[in-house]
Amino acid sequence: MSDQSAKYPKRDGVAAVERAIAILASFDDRDPVLSLAQIHARTRIYKSTLLRLMASLLRFGYLRQCEDGRYMIGAASLRLAGQYQRSLQPAELIMPVLRRLVNSTEESASFNVREGNLRVCLYRIDSPQGVRDHVRVGDCLELHRGSGGKVLLAFSGEPGKAYDEIRRSVTCTSTGERYADTAAVACPVFASTGLAGSLTVSGPSSRFDAKAVRRFERLLLEAAAGLTQALGGDTHTFAAAGARPRRAA
């Protein structure tokens, strides 16, 4: 059985296609170039079958053989990735994630991006509760105040122990930094090009006790891992934090 197949739920399909996909999935950011022996070890496909499948992938440009005999992803894969990116409408992926977070937490949820020395609220859904924090789509906020901005700084390489801790835990909690009676929990989201933004759950600090914060952190990490996966980003950061992706749409 392919090691790669463990990543995907068992469904009806075509074995040859699944094996070809497993070959392509054996490459990653850490190992962009692999030998035949390494591909065999990662896919557990018989070498005779592996060679036939790889010959087809080479012929159609999805694999490329290097001068030293090793293999890498071919240009045809890049063309597919470009078509995916051109068809992608981020709102269609982000808004369902925010809705699920609001339904799960009953607090407000937002997606922030960095613009120079500010963070911008790009998407937001308000809490259904009467008492809530007030941020509008398009608002520009300070980066150094509030968990959403600090996450953007941390995963943009900002030095310092506080940012090292955010990178370690993959989350940030803030209380009373923008307004005395509000709190927020945030974590990063990544796309194929790197840091995409931060997901934040926010509301009155009275509802953000230690138990609630731990629950919000778990929900945010799962949601951010799923959104990162949908945007073509690297989910290793979330795997290290023990989070499994939730579907982004």
* Three-class SS state of 211: helix
Determine the pLDDT at residue 60.
Answer: 95
Complete domains list, the chain, with CATH = 4-83 (1.10.10.10), 88-240 (3.30.450.40)
Determine the pLDDT at residue 81.
Answer: 74
Beta carbons within 10 angstroms of residue 9's beta carbon:
6
Determine the pLDDT at residue 6.
Answer: 44
Q: pLDDT (tens digit, 0 to 9) for every residue of the chain, 249 residues total? A: 444 444 444 556 688 999 999 999 999 878 899 999 999 999 999 999 999 999 999 999 999 999 999 999 999 988 887 776 566 568 889 999 999 999 999 999 999 999 888 999 989 999 999 888 888 888 888 899 899 999 999 999 999 999 999 999 999 999 988 888 999 999 999 998 899 999 999 999 999 999 999 999 999 999 999 999 999 899 988 887 766 555 544
* Three-class SS state of 11: coil
Residue 71 tokens, joined: 């293999």
Determine the pLDDT at residue 10.
Answer: 53
Q: In what order do the strands lie in the sheet with 194-204?
A: 140-142, 118-125, 108-115, 194-204, 182-191, 172-175
Residue 138 tokens, joined: 């398009």
CA dist., res. 12 & res. 9, Å (int): 10
CA dist., res. 60 & res. 42, Å (int): 22
Determine the pLDDT at residue 1.
Answer: 41
2: DSSP letter: -
Write the pLDDT tens digit of every residue in 224-248. Answer: 999 999 998 999 888 877 665 555 4
Please say whether the beta carbons of 23 and 46 come within 8 A.
Answer: no
Among the listed residues 157, 160, 141, the one whose alpha carbon sits nearest the alpha carbon of residue 149:
141
Determine the pLDDT at residue 246.
Answer: 57
Determine the pLDDT at residue 11.
Answer: 54
Determine the pLDDT at residue 219.
Answer: 96
* Three-class SS state of 106: coil
